[in-house]
Amino acid sequence: MKRLIAVTAIAALAVALWPADTMAGPTVDAIKKRGKVICGVNGNRAGFSALDSKGQWQGMDVDTCKAIAAAVLGDKNKVQFSKTTTQTRFTALQTGEIDVLTRNVTWTLGRDTKLGIDFVAPTFYDGQGFMVNKKTGAKSVKDLGGATVCVLPGSTSEKVTSDVFKANGLKYTAVVIENKKELNTAFFGGRCDVHVQSTSGLSSARATVAPNPADYILLPGVYGKDPMGPVVRQGDPQFKDIVAWTVYAMMEAEESGVTSKNVDEMKKSKNANVARLLGNKDKLGEALGLDNDWAYRIIKQIGNYGEVFERNVGQNSPLKLPRGINDLWTRGGLLYSPPFK
């Protein structure tokens, strides 16, 4: 009995002292051995990650994950999705339950440094916006004095609202509602004058919940910065590079006019940039520890950034978001891929 107790105690101590952040080995090896990439997603965010009527995952974040699978494993369907919540998302990454977090997580210095995780490359830029009913006659936030504002408690939008109103010396009444769906219902039902949320959230609410979308306008001005993109565990530079260049490959493809439809023709292209991207020059894939067809597979199976955007949140989707700042730098947006050289 004494020995049993001693053994148990030692075992318990060993478990307690085991460093929590040990690596199982390079992520890519683990992925190849397992045969699939495990991605943490939000699961409740239309256009980014949600289930369609057949229970299939759809969305921009989902496509980012599939692109990683196409690059590393050659097949976009070799993916597994794990629904994470705001509370579980970072732990899931830290403990190795997921390989990469493709979820709406805003890149901040605090998170990047304190959590043992690395932000890689933004795939979506968002910010907070103000939406009003046209009937109010408001043309800018300066006209909103005394308004009632619908906000989520503890959210970025709540903070932005208070900052913006304070900066303009205006008063407002906050209507705080815990649930995003009810917040939308309250606003379109006329319970408050102003709806404050991410601009993408506002546009999609207007397109899908508003009784008559034409009655509502987004006031000019985007407040706060919300760059969102895949997040990986710290300490695996190779995998971090693969995820980053997977994102860039889709942007570069759009910039060079390579789409999922014309990628086979483009493979014969003499253009040096396209040849490097599609693996016909300089063997860039090998430098990443992949084969040279990695980017070809991403574009062939998932498409370039523009295709992914339009399919999930843009004009070919019910959300109908404008490209806005999520456009190529050549067209005045923020998407800028480092050169493929």
DSSP string, 243-274: HHHHHHHHHHHHHTT--TTTHHHHTT---HHH
- The residue whose two tokens read 């955007």 is 309
Q: If binding is defined by CB under 8 A, does position 115 make contact with another protein?
A: no
Q: Which is nearer to another protein, 89 or 297 (CB)?
A: 89
Q: 331: buried, middle or exposed (CB in 10 Å: 19+, 13-18, 0-12)?
A: exposed
> Residue from 1, 4, 5, 24 that binds another protein (CB under 8 A)?
24
Contact between 129 and 219 (Cβ < 8 Å): yes
Q: Cα-flanking dihedrals φ and ψ of residue 90, to 5°?
A: -75, -40
Residue 58: both structure tokens together: 């759809």
CB of 228 to another protein, least distance (A): 17
Q: How many whole angstroms separate alpha carbon 255 and alpha carbon 337?
A: 9
Q: Which is nearer to another protein, 16 or 109 (CB)?
A: 16
Torsion of CA 302, 125, 84, 41, to 10 degrees: 0
CB of 318 to another protein, least distance (A): 4
Q: If binding is defined by CB under 8 A, does position 234 make contact with another protein?
A: no
Name the CA radius of gyration of the chain, rounded.
23
Contact between 280 and 267 (Cβ < 8 Å): yes
Q: Which stretch binds another protein (CB under 8 A): 17-25, 132-140, 167-175, 271-279?
A: 17-25
Q: Which is nearer to another protein, 201 or 229 (CB)?
A: 201
> Residue from 27, 28, 37, 45 that binds another protein (CB under 8 A)?
45
Q: Which is nearer to another protein, 53 or 265 (CB)?
A: 53
Q: If binding is defined by CB under 8 A, does position 173 make contact with another protein?
A: no
CB of 197 to another protein, least distance (A): 15
Contact between 129 and 196 (Cβ < 8 Å): yes
127: three-class secondary structure by DSSP: strand
Single-letter residue type at 216: Y
CA distances from 296 to 162, 277, 289 (A): 47, 8, 15
Q: If binding is defined by CB under 8 A, does position 122 make contact with another protein?
A: no
Q: If binding is defined by CB under 8 A, does position 341 make contact with another protein?
A: no
DSSP string, 294-326: HHHHHHHHT--HHHHHHHHTSTTSTT----TTS
> Residue from 47, 122, 201, 306 that binds another protein (CB under 8 A)?
47
Q: If binding is defined by CB under 8 A, does position 35 make contact with another protein?
A: no
Q: If binding is defined by CB under 8 A, does position 204 make contact with another protein?
A: yes
CB of 256 to another protein, least distance (A): 32
Residues in the chain: 341
CB of 204 to another protein, least distance (A): 6
Q: Which stretch binds another protein (CB under 8 A): 1-9, 84-92, 136-144, 255-263?
A: 84-92
> Residue from 1, 4, 5, 16 that binds another protein (CB under 8 A)?
16
Q: If binding is defined by CB under 8 A, does position 64 make contact with another protein?
A: no
> Residue from 1, 4, 15, 109 that binds another protein (CB under 8 A)?
15
> Residue from 1, 56, 265, 270 that binds another protein (CB under 8 A)?
56
Contact between 230 and 118 (Cβ < 8 Å): no
Q: Which is nearer to another protein, 85 or 168 (CB)?
A: 85
> Residue from 317, 326, 328, 337 that binds another protein (CB under 8 A)?
317
Interacting residues with another protein (CB under 8 A): 15-16, 18, 20, 22-24, 43-47, 50-57, 80-85, 87-88, 91, 94-97, 181, 204, 207-209, 317-319
